[in-house]
Amino acid sequence: MVPLSVINTAVLTRIHLVLLREIMEGRRNTIHVLMLPWLAHGHISPYLELAKRLVYRNFHIHLCSTAVNLTSVKKKIPEKFTDSIQLVELTLPSYPELPPPYHTTNGLPPHLMTTLKKAFEESSPNLSNILDTVKPQIVIYDYNQPWVAELASCRGIPAVQFLTVSATITCFNLFVNQKPDEAFPFPEINLRQFERNKIQDLGESQVGNVKESVRAFAALAKSKNIVLIKTSREIEGKYIDFLSNICNKKIVPVGTLFQDPVIEDENKEIMEWLDKKEKNSVVFVSFGSEYFLSKEERLEVAKALELSQVNFVWVIRFPSTEKIKIEEALPQEFLERVGDRGLVVEGWAPQAKILGHPSIGGFVSHCGWSSTLESIKFGVPIIAMPMQIDQPFNARIVDAIGVGVEALRDENGKLQDEEIAKAIRKIILDKIGEEIRKESKRVMIGFAVSTMFIVFVCTRLICARIHLNSSRRSSAMASRSNLSILERGLHCIEPLVVANFPTKNYRDLCLSSKENTQCTVCLADYRDEDTLRILPVCGHSFHATCIDIWLQQNSTCPVCRISLREIPERKWYMQPMFSSAIRSQYNAQSINRHCCHCLSTGHTHSSRSRDDLITNPVQEAHLQPEDGKETSGEPV
């Protein structure tokens, strides 16, 4: 048996790239993934959108949730995905106060939220049966589910966390837990005292005998070296990097993952009303699917909309246990006074479709993370009115990146109608609204995400598992032998051509180049002594060994996909550098002849001698294992 600690990283990377190519080309059996989001629409929706993207890459998704959630999810799966996205019912234990229609956060009375979380965790026996039946090769789980990772781990299945909240609140909570006496290093993310009190109460709340905060940290810690997160570097770049540092994991932003807007018959009244309004003249008011305004809050919002004198669409929701009419929930004769200037909708409205309408000029939002990203995506300025949990953090991000303003509360956290009206007028009527719209459009440019990279992450984990199992049955030499068979016939760039691509030590890169701190192929951070190979034309750089292996399977840059087959002939003004990946393809005599050819063509060379180049390969890339200690060959 070969210990995992001595398996060469290059071998693992080469096997991974072959596996990845076979998956992408449909030459390998479909990869099965089990997804288990939290029982909220705002969590299930991005999981479903990620599933749709993975299906295009030869993945089969088993999306697991309760029956009441799956009923609505089924309607959102286009026919072309029905064979590849399988809905799996998770059965929760029965409580008298929590019948099956309440096995979702949608319309759930707030006092039953803790009961729902408890029932969700107690469904672990049912999930165990699902894992044993489906036999997935990877599990993707949500923020509060350490028990899911444990169930997967005991079956040898890699489990990866996918967070649908911001990187900002995640790193804030983790930092405060680790260093309670220190100030959070990003002063723009500040909380008012009433917000601190709410968040502290939430962190101290318990499900069973475990605090909510402890459960969340445990779930993060159990993710297999990598954490997926619904965000983009354009919005949260510095918070993503900080989170990666304090949790010692690779944080992979997956973009916004929104469902394409769908026009339905019941939405026609809203869209026809909007069609009659001028461009950017309407404010959309909605507070998400999980927060219900109190009577006092409804009155303040209503008075603000009346004071603003701005057109509005207001979506009002009530808990499923409350039977109340719209007219009773609003100030007396409110609808008559606003007339055709306002449209009040009860229950649900097509948020994406509304935000995408040209008449919408602003969004009064609770700043749920999905709503925040969706508003930025459509270039709609946000009037932030955070209500609970992560929303104050999201509101500070909105202000920090210049895509909205916040309606200020009083010192006790109460809404103020005049402040709300002032913020609405600022966005809809003043020039600042146009400036914010331009900034929103600039930020949204970075929202695209490479599905290929997400697939790369997933297959890397699967490959590590495959390679570990293989190493227990054979020697490292046998693994290399099998690898050479797999690689035959794959398209590539001639290794001796690749050897001529320029190289540089990471320590010698200019400061601007060092903004790229990790190799996209192996996902390891660069060290000063690492040798990087720089691709012509695009200039992207990677560990020399990693990119040499990649180019044995591909002919394009892993990042920008520019073809390297179309590079015009040129002289390279440095001596060829042969990594172990290239060296394994040729004997010393072949490399010697190639070096002699370079010498005879009159190229200028580096200070290393030809013999040194032949006998000493380029330094291998190292990966960072979970415990933070560097080893050669610990798989991601």
Domain boundaries, the chain: 4-253, 265-446, 491-615
pLDDT score for 482: 45
415: confidence class by pLDDT, cuts 50, 70, 90: very high
321: confidence class by pLDDT, cuts 50, 70, 90: confident
Query: Picking from 40-49, 106-115, 384-393, 524-533, which range would have the lowest pLDDT averaged per residue?
Result: 524-533
Question: Per-residue pLDDT for 358 more than 70?
Answer: yes
CB atoms within 10 A of CB 307: 15
User: What's the mean pLDDT in 295-311?
Assistant: 95
SS3 291: coil
pLDDT score for 290: 77
Residue 590: CA count within 13 A, CB half-sphere: 10
pLDDT score for 476: 43
Query: Picking from 247-261, 335-349, 502-516, which range would have the lowest pLDDT averaged per residue?
Result: 502-516
Contact 250, 225 (CB under 8 A): yes
Alpha-carbon distances of 488 from 37, 115, 480, 493, 557, rounded to whole Å = 40, 57, 13, 13, 21
Query: Picking from 221-230, 259-268, 482-491, which range would have the lowest pLDDT averaged per residue?
Result: 482-491
Axis-axis angle for helices 476-487, 9-24 (nearest 10): 30
Cα 244 from Cα 161, distance rounded (Å) = 14
399 a catalytic residue? no
CATH number of 491-615: 3.30.40.10
43 a catalytic residue? yes
pLDDT cut 90: percent of the chain above it: 41
Would you say the C-alpha torsion 120, 124, 127, 129 has a positive or negative sign?
negative
Supply the mean pLDDT for the chain: 79
DSSP string, 491-514: ----HHHHTTS-EEEGGGS-TTGG
Cα 323 from Cα 301, distance rounded (Å) = 21
User: What's the mean pLDDT in 84-100?
Assistant: 94
User: What's the mean pLDDT in 363-375?
Assistant: 94
469: confidence class by pLDDT, cuts 50, 70, 90: low
Question: Per-residue pLDDT for 597 more than 70?
Answer: no
Does 265-446 match 4-253 at the fold level? yes
Determine if the pTM surpasses 0.85.
no
562: confidence class by pLDDT, cuts 50, 70, 90: confident
Position with higher pLDDT, 571 vs 293:
293
User: What's the mean pLDDT in 408-416?
Assistant: 92
pLDDT score for 571: 47
Q: Which tokens in the block code for residue 384?
A: 């932030």
Contacts of 196 (CB under 8 A, 6+ apart): none
Q: Which tokens in the block code for residue 342?
A: 């306002």
Question: Per-residue pLDDT for 610 more than 50?
Answer: no
pLDDT score for 188: 93
Catalytic residue among 60, 142, 548, 622: 142
Q: Which CATH number fits domain 4-253: 3.30.450.20, 3.40.50.300, 3.40.50.2000, 3.30.43.10?
A: 3.40.50.2000
Helices (H), 356-508: 369-377, 391-400, 417-428, 431-444, 451-471, 476-487, 495-498
SS3 445: helix
Superfamily holding 265-446: Glycogen Phosphorylase B; (3.40.50.2000)
pLDDT in tens, 27-41: 556 889 999 999 998
Q: Which tokens in the block code for residue 573?
A: 């003004």
Contact 577, 531 (CB under 8 A): yes
pLDDT score for 587: 54
pLDDT in tens, 126-178: 999 999 999 999 999 998 899 999 999 899 899 999 999 999 999 998 998 88
Catalytic residue among 16, 41, 43, 60: 43
